[in-house]
C-alpha cells in the first residue's frame, strides 16, 4: 500500500504545482491563511485607493446636487469588498497574531519581547526607574 | 692531461703523414724551379708591364686641363659633370644647414649643442639618403599574373584547414603512431598534386596573419556627421543587464548584501532623504502645485455647485505635499471625465451650464 502511494506520487503532478494537491506539504512565505487574506486585501486596497477616494469625495459633500451623490453611493458599492481599507487587519508580521500588536514594529507583543531581549530592536531597552 | 696532449700531437703528425701534403713536400722544389724558370723567361715582358704600370701610377707631367686645351679629347659627358656638381652642391648645402642649425640653436637657447645635434640629425639624415627610393624602383615594375600549373592546385591554407591540420597532427603524435593512424593521415581523398600538399605542409605551419585595420579607409562615413553609426539602446541595455547577471556572485558578506538591497531600493540611502525616489519633482516649480485653476479653465462652468466643488478640490490639492504635480492634474481630469459623462443629468438639474451659454434657472 505504501509502496503504491510513493510510486504514484512520482508520476503525478510534475507539470503543475497546485497547492494542497499531490503528496507535498504546501509551503508559503506567509505564516497563516489569514495572513494571506490580509495581504490580498492590502494589495487590492492600494490598487483601488485613488478611484475610491474620488468617488467618496463626491459622496461626502453637500455642494453637489443630490443626484450626483446618489450615483456615487451606488458606484462605491460596486468595488470589491477586499478593496475596502477597513477590512485590513493589523496582524503580527511574523506570527499572524490578531491581537496584542505593537504597532510601530508590526509585531505581536510576544515576538517583540523576544527580539528586544536579544537586542535586535533599535533603541529598545528594559524599562526600569525609580 | 699530458697523455691527451701527446695524443693530439701524435694525431696531427699522423694526419700530416696521411694527407697529401707529403707529396707536396716532395714537389715543392720542383715547383719553385719551374717558377724560377718562368720568371727568367718572362722577365723582359713583365718588366715592361711593370714599368708601364709605374708610369701610369706616377703623377702626370701635364695637368688634365692643359692636356684638354692642347689636344682634342672626347666631349665631357653629362654624368661626370652632374656628379661633380651634385657633390659640390650637397657640400654647400650641408655647410649652410650646419650654419643655420647653429644659429637656430643659439637663438632658442637652452642646451645649444643638443638642439644643434638634433636639428642636424633630422635634416642631414634626409639629405644623405639616396634619391632613388623603393617606390621609384617599384613604379616601373609590373606584376606577373601568369598562373603556373603547379600553383593552381596549391591554394593558400585557410585558417580552418590550418587548425584542422594542427589538431590532427596533435592527435596522431600524442597517441602511438600506429600504422592505421599513419595511413589515415597520409591518405587524402582529392589530392591532385603531391607537390602542392608537400609545400603546404611545413615543419612549422605558418599562419597567415591578417590585419583588418591595416588598409586605408574609404572615407564614405565621417564620425562628425550627426547620423554616424546606429545606436540600439534597448539591445545595449539588455547586454549590460546580461553581463551584470552573468558576472554577479551571491553576496559574500553582510555589507555586500546591504549594498545590493540599497541598489534595488529596498533599503533607504544615507543620509536619509524623505524625498528619495522623487528627484524629478524637485525640478518642478511650486506654482504648478498651487495654481491649479488653469486645469479648470476649459471645461468647468464659471458658477454653480460644480465650480464650487472643483475649487474646493483644487484648494485641497494645493495643500497636499505628497502628490506630484502630474498626479494632481490627473485627479482634476478624472473629475472632468466624470462630469462630462454625467452631462445630461447635470443639465437637467441645471447645475451644468456650459461656459458660453446663459445662466439657467435652478430647479
B195 within some domain: no
Pick from A46, A45, A44, A54: nearest CA to A76:
A54
CB–CB of B335/A51 below 8 Å? no
Q: Testing the interface with B: which of A58, A60, A68 to mutate, by most B Cβ within 10 A?
A: A68
Pick from B311, B312, B305, B313: nearest CA to B342:
B305
CA-based nearest distance A74→chain B, Å:
14
Interchain pair B351, A63: CB under 8 A = no
CA-based nearest distance A114→chain B, Å:
23
Pick from A13, A19, A17, A47: nearest CA to A33:
A19
Share of chain A above pLDDT 90, in %: 76
Of the residues B122, B138, B154, the one at which a domain ends: B138
pTM score, whole prediction: 0.46
Determine contact: A60 vs chain B, CB below 8 A: no
B319 within some domain: yes
Chain A partners of B308 at a C-beta cutoff of 8 Å? 63
pLDDT at B327 over 90: yes
B291 within some domain: yes
- Lookup result for grid cell 591540420: B165
Pick from A27, A50, A26, A30: nearest CA to A39:
A30
Interchain pair A54, B338: CB under 8 A = yes
Determine contact: A63 vs chain B, CB below 8 A: yes
Determine contact: A62 vs chain B, CB below 8 A: no
Q: List, in order of start, the domains of chain A with CATH numbers.
A: 28-88 (1.10.287.1480), 89-123 (1.10.287.1480)
Interchain pair B335, A71: CB under 8 A = no
The number of C-beta contacts closer than 8 angstroms across A and B is 28
B169 within some domain: no
pLDDT tens digits for range B109-162: 778 888 888 877 787 666 565 556 677 667 767 777 776 655 545 556 677 788
Q: Range of B314's domain?
A: 278-349
pLDDT value at residue B120: 77
Chain B partners of A60 at a C-beta cutoff of 8 Å? none
Provide the grid cell at A46.
Answer: 492600494
Looking at the structure of chain B, the number of domains it has is: 2
B125 within some domain: yes
B167 within some domain: no
Q: What average pLDDT does the structure give for chain B?
A: 76
Amino acid at each position: 500500500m505504501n509502496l503504491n502511494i510513493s510510486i504514484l506520487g512520482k508520476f503525478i503532478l510534475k507539470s503543475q504545482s497546485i497547492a494542497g494537491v499531490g503528496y507535498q506539504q504546501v509551503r508559503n512565505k506567509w505564516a497563516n491563511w489569514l495572513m494571506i487574506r490580509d495581504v490580498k486585501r492590502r494589495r487590492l486596497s492600494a490598487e483601488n485607493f485613488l478611484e475610491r477616494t474620488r468617488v467618496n469625495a463626491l459622496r461626502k459633500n453637500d455642494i453637489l446636487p443630490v443626484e450626483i451623490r446618489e450615483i456615487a453611493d451606488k458606484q462605491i458599492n460596486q468595488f470589491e469588498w477586499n478593496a475596502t481599507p477597513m477590512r485590513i487587519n493589523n496582524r503580527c508580521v511574523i506570527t499572524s497574531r490578531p491581537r496584542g500588536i505593537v504597532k510601530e514594529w508590526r509585531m505581536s507583543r510576544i515576538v517583540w519581547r523576544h527580539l528586544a531581549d536579544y537586542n535586535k530592536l533599535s533603541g529598545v531597552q528594559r524599562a526600569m526607574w525609580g | 692531461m699530458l697523455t691527451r696532449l701527446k695524443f693530439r700531437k701524435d694525431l696531427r703528425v699522423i694526419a700530416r703523414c696521411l694527407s697529401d701534403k707529403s707529396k707536396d713536400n716532395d714537389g715543392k722544389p720542383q715547383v719553385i724551379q719551374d717558377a724560377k724558370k718562368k720568371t727568367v723567361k718572362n722577365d723582359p715582358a713583365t718588366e715592361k708591364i711593370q714599368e708601364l704600370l709605374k708610369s701610369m701610377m706616377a703623377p702626370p707631367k701635364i695637368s688634365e686641363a692643359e692636356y684638354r686645351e692642347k689636344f682634342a679629347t672626347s666631349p665631357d659627358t653629362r654624368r661626370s659633370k652632374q656628379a661633380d656638381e651634385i657633390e659640390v652642391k650637397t657640400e654647400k648645402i650641408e655647410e649652410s644647414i650646419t650654419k643655420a642649425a647653429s644659429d637656430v640653436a643659439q637663438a632658442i637657447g637652452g642646451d645649444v649643442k643638443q638642439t644643434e645635434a638634433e636639428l642636424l640629425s633630422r635634416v642631414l639624415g634626409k639629405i644623405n639618403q639616396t634619391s632613388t627610393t623603393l617606390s621609384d624602383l617599384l613604379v616601373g615594375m609590373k606584376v606577373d599574373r601568369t598562373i603556373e600549373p603547379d600553383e593552381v592546385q596549391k591554394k593558400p591554407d585557410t585558417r580552418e584547414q590550418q587548425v584542422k591540420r594542427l589538431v590532427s597532427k596533435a592527435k596522431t603524435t600524442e597517441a602511438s603512431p600506429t600504422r592505421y593512424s599513419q595511413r589515415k593521415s597520409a591518405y587524402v581523398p582529392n589530392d591532385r598534386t603531391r607537390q602542392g600538399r608537400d609545400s603546404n605542409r611545413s615543419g612549422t605551419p605558418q599562419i597567415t596573419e591578417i590585419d583588418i585595420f591595416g588598409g586605408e579607409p574609404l572615407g564614405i562615413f565621417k564620425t562628425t556627421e550627426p547620423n554616424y553609426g546606429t545606436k540600439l539602446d534597448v539591445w545595449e541595455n539588455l547586454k549590460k543587464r546580461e553581463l551584470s547577471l552573468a558576472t554577479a556572485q551571491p553576496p559574500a558578506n553582510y555589507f555586500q548584501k546591504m549594498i545590493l538591497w540599497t541598489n534595488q531600493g529596498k533599503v533607504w540611502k544615507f543620509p536619509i532623504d524623505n524625498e528619495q525616489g522623487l528627484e524629478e519633482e524637485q525640478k518642478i516649480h511650486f506654482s504648478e502645485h498651487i495654481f491649479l485653476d488653469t486645469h479648470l479653465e476649459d471645461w468647468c462652468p464659471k458658477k454653480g455647485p460644480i465650480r464650487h466643488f472643483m475649487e474646493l478640490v483644487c484648494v485641497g490639492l494645493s495643500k497636499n505635499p505628497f502628490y506630484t504635480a502630474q498626479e494632481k492634474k490627473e485627479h482634476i481630469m478624472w473629475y472632468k471625465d466624470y462630469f462630462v459623462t454625467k452631462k445630461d443629468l447635470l443639465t437637467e438639474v441645471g447645475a451644468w451650464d456650459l461656459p458660453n451659454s446663459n445662466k439657467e434657472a435652478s430647479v
